[in-house]
């Protein structure tokens, strides 16, 4: 950001004034010319010499805007509808550079830092208004602890890592097998710390492989961690349908290796991130996550004074491989936007909100328990695509065509958050539901024994090794729901 850039901060509250103060100390970031606010008590006043203009929609029309000017939306309590209104007003007035404080900065006790700002994107405008969670107090259970995040370079894992900066953990272990993604989140967290975000946790990148049983035993003993958030998984449904042995090898036996090591090393808290695709699964990926849930509950019986649990939720906005980044990319290229079916519906939650709820659940959840995040009402994907096209300044089916391509392998028109064998009950924590499974005993050990030769070489069963047809037939005939 150049020092000659003029910055207009939308919101003259605590977050906005904190950002303005930081900019004034670091003149290289530009100069704040004014606040824009709707509060009649603030309009016409000055904060540290900076005038407060308003109301927002009226005052923005009076500003002479250049191509270099920036607008920064800093309203922690803003809902998605109001955000969209302000965004349209800023775009209409001529702002091409519009930034926003991400949701995490709104959740963590109102703290705000310039380093957290980022370009606004269409997903911000489509998201429902997240609940406010007192994350700092929710993370008190992690104070002074060593915390490991598997899949730390992924969408969920990296956001958990960002939020954990404010948790008071003594060490954050960023575990993953992709060096580039782990490098990126490690660099980002160090940058956030340098910008004043969070506390002084030691951040340690760890490149490793869940599928390596001996390595997992070694590294868990070496790290001596207290808490594990297990987000790592192969999760692209059609790709896993084409690579089913890899899905089972990584998701099932990788998780088993991790659980074995955690129990051996007396890890006190283990939180598995699960998915609605584990409910009455129709895909190999969904089946692998269903097994993960059952494994965690089984291992909970083997722990000593510990809390092993899983948290299940539906789709998240903006995760890698999800429809929203795909739609944005397709719109930017002029279309077509590809839709599976006009009747397809999905539950959606923002990544920061889902991660905040997961972190909260990790502190209040009990051993051997299952939890479900309240995803609100499902949305129609076709209607959402049209809405996204409009938000990006185009007319659906006129400027940007929409193409129906049909269901891919492993997809269903509607996902279910819980099965007919499960009951949900509220907890005292908003958006966190408890799951009670009434299913009869599941032969977990037998299933794992059946699957093992397909993924782990056994001289006595070498004809089964990597035999995808036999493995898939076994899974389909015994566990997948017919659609």
C-alpha dihedral, 19 to 22 to 27 to 29, nearest 10°: -50
Q: What is the token pair recorded at 267? A: 């890890």
Q: Write the DSSP string, 18-43.
A: HHHHHHHHSGGG-EEEEEE---TTTT
Active site residue 277: yes
How far apart are alpha carbons 118 and 159 in whole angstroms? Answer: 14
Residue 393 three-state SS:
coil
Question: What is the length of the chain?
Answer: 483
Q: Which residue has the tokens 């392998």?
A: 409
Does the pLDDT of residue 106 top 50, yes or no? no
* Residue 212 pLDDT exceeds 70: yes
SS (H, E, C) 9-20: EECCCHHHHHHH
Identify the weakest region by mean pLDDT among 212-216, 316-320, 396-400.
316-320
∠ CA 275-277-280, nearest 5°, is 125
- Quick count: other Cβ atoms within 10 Å of Cβ 1? 16
Q: Taking residues 232-250, what's their average pLDDT? A: 96
CA 463 to chain centre: 40
Is it the case that residue 414 has pLDDT exceeding 70?
A: yes
Taking the C-alpha atoms of residue 168 and residue 142, their distance in angstroms, rounded to an integer, is 6
Burial of 424 (0-12, 13-18, 19+ CB in 10 A): middle
Over 70: is that where the pLDDT of 239 sits?
yes
The pairing of strands 432-437 and 345-346 is unpaired
**Are β-strands 70-73 and 97-100 bridged in parallel, bridged antiparallel, or unpaired?**
parallel
CA 397 to chain centre: 31
- pLDDT above 80 for 145: yes
51 DSSP β-pair partners: 46
Label residue 208 by pLDDT band (50, 70, 90). Answer: very high
Tokens of 285: 């990926």
Which pLDDT tens digit goes with each residue over 119-132? 887 767 776 666 77
Is the pLDDT at 402 greater than 60? The verdict is: yes
Q: Can you say whether the dihedral through the CA atoms of 326, 327, 329, 333 is positive or negative?
A: positive
The helix, strand and coil proportions of the chain, stated in percent and rounded to the nearest 5, come to 40, 20, 40
User: What is the separation of C-alpha 427 from the centre of its chain, rounded to a whole number of angstroms?
Assistant: 22
φ and ψ at residue 202, rounded to 5 degrees? -80, 125
Of the residues 145, 277, 294, 386, only one is catalytic, namely 277
- The pLDDT assigned to 296 comes to 97
Q: Is residue 445 scored above 90 in pLDDT? A: yes
Closest CA to 451 of 294, 228, 219: 294
Residue 388 has pLDDT above 70, yes or no: yes
Instruction: State whether residue 363 is helix, strand or coil.
Output: helix
The tokens for 283 are: 């895909």
* C-alpha neighbours within 13 Å on the C-beta side of residue 413: 8
pLDDT > 90? residue 9: yes
What number of H helices and E strands is found in the chain? 18, 22
Count of other CB atoms within 10 angstroms of residue 340:
17
Q: What is the mean pLDDT of the chain?
A: 90
CA contacts within 13 A on the Cβ side of 158: 19
Q: How far apart are CA 149 and CA 161, in angstroms?
A: 7
Q: Say what the pTM is.
A: 0.88
Give residue 244's pLDDT: 98
Encoded tokens for 78: 């803003």
Contact 154, 320 (CB under 8 A): yes
Given pLDDT bands bounded at 50, 70 and 90, which one contains residue 27?
low
CB 75 within 8 A of CB 14: no
Structural tokens at position 377: 């009402």
What DSSP element (H or E) covers 239? helix 237-242
Rounded-to-integer distance, Cα 298 and Cα 317, Å? 31
3-class DSSP assignment, residue 77: coil
For residues 3 and 294, which has the higher predicted lDDT (pLDDT)?
294
pLDDT above 50: residue 179: yes
Asked if residues 151 and 229 have their Cβ atoms less than 8 Å apart, the reply is no
């Amino acid at each position: 950001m150049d020092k000659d850039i003029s910055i207009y901060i939308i919101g003259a509250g605590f977050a906005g004034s904190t950002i303005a103060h930081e900019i004034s100390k670091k003149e290289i970031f530009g100069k704040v010319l004014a606040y824009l606010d709707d509060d009649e008590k603030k309009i016409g006043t000055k904060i540290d010499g900076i005038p407060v203009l308003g109301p927002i929609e009226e005052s923005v029309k009076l500003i002479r805007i250049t191509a270099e000017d920036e607008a920064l939306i800093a309203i922690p309590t803003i809902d998605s509808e109001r955000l969209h209104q302000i965004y349209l007003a800023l775009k209409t007035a001529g702002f091409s550079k519009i930034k926003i404080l991400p949701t995490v900065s709104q959740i963590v006790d109102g703290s705000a830092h310039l380093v957290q700002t980022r370009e606004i994107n269409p997903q911000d405008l489509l998201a429902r208004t997240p609940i406010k969670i007192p994350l700092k107090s929710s993370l008190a259970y992690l104070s002074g602890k060593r915390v490991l995040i598997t899949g730390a370079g992924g969408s969920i894992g990296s956001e958990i890592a960002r939020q954990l900066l404010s948790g008071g953990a003594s060490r954050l272990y960023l575990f993953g097998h992709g060096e580039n993604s782990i490098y990126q989140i490690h660099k980002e967290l160090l940058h956030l710390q340098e910008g004043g975000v969070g506390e002084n946790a030691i951040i340690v990148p760890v490149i490793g492989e869940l599928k390596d049983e001996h390595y997992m035993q070694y590294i868990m003993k070496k790290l001596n961690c207290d808490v594990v958030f297990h987000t790592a998984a192969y999760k692209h449904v059609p790709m896993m349908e084409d690579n089913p042995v890899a899905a089972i090898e990584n998701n099932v036996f990788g998780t088993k290796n991790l659980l074995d090591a955690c129990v051996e090393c007396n890890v006190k808290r283990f939180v598995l991130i699960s998915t609605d695709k584990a409910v009455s699964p129709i895909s190999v990926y969904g089946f692998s996550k269903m097994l993960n849930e059952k494994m965690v509950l089984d291992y909970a019986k083997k722990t000593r004074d510990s809390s092993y649990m899983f948290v299940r939720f539906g789709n998240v906005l903006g995760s890698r491989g999800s429809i929203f980044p795909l739609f944005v990319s397709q719109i930017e290229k002029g279309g077509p936007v590809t839709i599976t079916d006009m009747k397809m519906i999905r539950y959606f939650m923002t990544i920061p909100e889902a991660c905040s709820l997961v972190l909260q659940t990790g502190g209040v959840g009990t051993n051997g328990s299952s939890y479900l995040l309240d995803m609100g009402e499902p949305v129609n994907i076709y209607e959402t695509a049209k809405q996204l096209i409009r938000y990006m300044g185009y007319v659906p089916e006129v400027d940007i065509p929409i193409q129906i391509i049909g269901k891919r392998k492993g997809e269903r028109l509607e996902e279910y958050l819980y099965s007919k064998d499960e009951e949900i009950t509220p907890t005292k924590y908003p958006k966190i539901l408890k799951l009670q499974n009434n299913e009869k005993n599941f032969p977990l050990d037998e299933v794992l024994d059946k699957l093992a030769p397909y993924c782990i070489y056994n001289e006595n069963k070498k004809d089964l090794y990597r035999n995808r047809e036999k493995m898939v037939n076994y899974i389909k005939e015994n566990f997948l729901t017919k659609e």
